[in-house]
Amino acid sequence: MGHQGDGVDDDAFVPVKFDGGRYTKKGFPLETAGELANYQRLFFEVAREVWLADNPKRERVPSGFEDALELRLTHIETGSVVPYTVTSGPDLSEFVDQARDRIRAVFEFVVDKKHLPDGLRESIRDAVKRIGASLRDDEVLYLQSATGAEVRYTKAVRTQMIANEEAGEVEREGVLPGKVVEIEPDSQTFKIELHDGRRIPARFGDPELWQTIVKFVKPSAEGDIVRFHAKYIESTSEEVLRVEDVTDVETFLDAGAPWTTRFVDLLRLRTGWYDGRGDPIALAAIEYASEVLRLTIERTAASPTVYPTPAGGVQLELLTGARHVELSISPDLDVEGYALDSKTGEDDETLLTSPAAAAEFIGRWSDV
């Protein structure tokens, strides 16, 4: 936790760093000193949560806990403004580091999603909203973890986060999987059935697109899962509410394939699905795995089992006799194959560069 340098206490750390605008001059502008006080409040609230999580039988933190975590400004570096602080209590480095890491993780989420994570206590939500209140357009606030990793936080990000929190909605642009179940060409609207069974309204701005969309209109049980490139509105709990504009539609998963139901289960996984961790499963990884399975059954009767990975990828596993085969597909489509024959001790570990190569690997190591 400590930092060593001229005029800096050995146990001092940098909670936040400022740059741009008023912070390019020597010293710390007093009109923004409230930012450090806001960080102090957030720091205590998060440290309190960390302590209570580590002590589930306790309902309150120990007497003097807040006083011991009081941050005191000890030194300011020039250039960008870098305030060093220390806590006044001894033996608190564990909670200090955990609190700083948790704070950085929250702001990393905010910068990415433009809203607050679910599950934050109200006192922490309020404290997060106060951070950056004094920032001007040309200024940046960096929040640091105990390891020195930084998150860049600006007035624009904070403004968008506050607006989204007040509205309870966030505008997104990206790819959505679902089925086309109704279409009204005259009004350029249709209904999308999502993987959770909900049907939401959707619009398309290009009148020529209906000719593409109508090809996918089928009863729900028969319809293929398609991929919509679109601008859409999502709640702050990451539930898609409506689609504002679809710009393209293409086939994603074949409704008749035996593994499609399993992939739909994977699509339902939300952030935190794996004991509080776990990313949503990437569409690219699902599509890649689907193609591997299609090619595999053309070569062999083997039927790998499909699993999600906490990193947002897909893992295929096959156990046939003495042979065990694993295929790990990352969200970025880095694909690794591993195989072991427990009888002979022979094994193989390799990078695979295409679905065809992956299917060949599975087939070669299958006893089926």
Beta pairing partners, 347:
340
**Does an H or E element contain 171, and which?**
strand 169-184
From residue 322, alpha-carbon distances to 159, 238, 328, 367 in Å are: 58, 43, 20, 8
Confidence category of residue 11, pLDDT binned at 50, 70, 90: low
Residues whose CB is less than 8 angstroms from the CB of residue 58 and which lie 6 or more positions away in sequence, other chains included: 52
Question: Both tokens of residue 105?
Answer: 């993780």
* CATH class of domain segment(s) 263-365: alpha beta
pLDDT (tens digit per residue) in 254-313: 888 899 989 989 988 888 888 878 889 999 999 999 999 999 988 777 789 999 999 999
- Among 1-10, 88-97, 173-182, 285-294, where is mean pLDDT lowest? 1-10
User: For the segment 349-358, what is each residue's pLDDT rounded down to a tens digit?
Assistant: 999 999 999 9
Question: Which two structure tokens, joined as six digits, stand for 19?
Answer: 């740059």
Structure confidence by residue, pLDDT tens digits, 93-102:
677 788 888 9
pLDDT of residue 7: 47
Q: Where does the chain hold its CATH 2.40.50.200 domain(s)?
A: 169-252
Residue 254 confidence (pLDDT): 86
Nearest C-alpha neighbor of 15 from the set 106, 92, 103: 103
The model carries a pTM of 0.62
Contact criterion met (CB below 8 Å) for 116 and 161? yes
Report which of residues 73 and 169 the model is more confident about. 169
Amino acid at 146: A
pLDDT band at 146 (very low <50, low <70, confident <90, very high): low
Average pLDDT score over residue span 103-111: 92
CATH topology of domain 169-252: OB fold (Dihydrolipoamide Acetyltransferase, E2P) (2.40.50)
From CA 262, how far away is CA 315, in angstroms rounded? 12
Q: Quick check: 86 pLDDT over 60? A: no
pLDDT given at position 3: 43
Query: How far is 278 from 26, CA to CA, in rounded Å?
Result: 44
Under the banding of pLDDT at 50, 70 and 90, the label for residue 6 is very low
Q: How confident is the model over 74-103, as a mean pLDDT?
A: 67
Residues spanned by CATH 3.10.450 within the chain? 263-365
Residue 15 has pLDDT above 80, yes or no: no
Distance of CA 254 to CAs 138, 145, 224, 315, 317, Å?
Answer: 49, 44, 5, 19, 21
Alpha-carbon distance of 130 to 49, in angstroms, equals: 18
Q: What is the rounded average pLDDT of the residues 1-6?
A: 44
- What pLDDT score was predicted for residue 283? 93
Q: Which tokens belong to 353?
A: 């560069």
Q: Give the pairing type, strands 335-341 and 323-329.
A: antiparallel
Of all helices (H) and strands (E), which one includes residue 46? helix 34-54
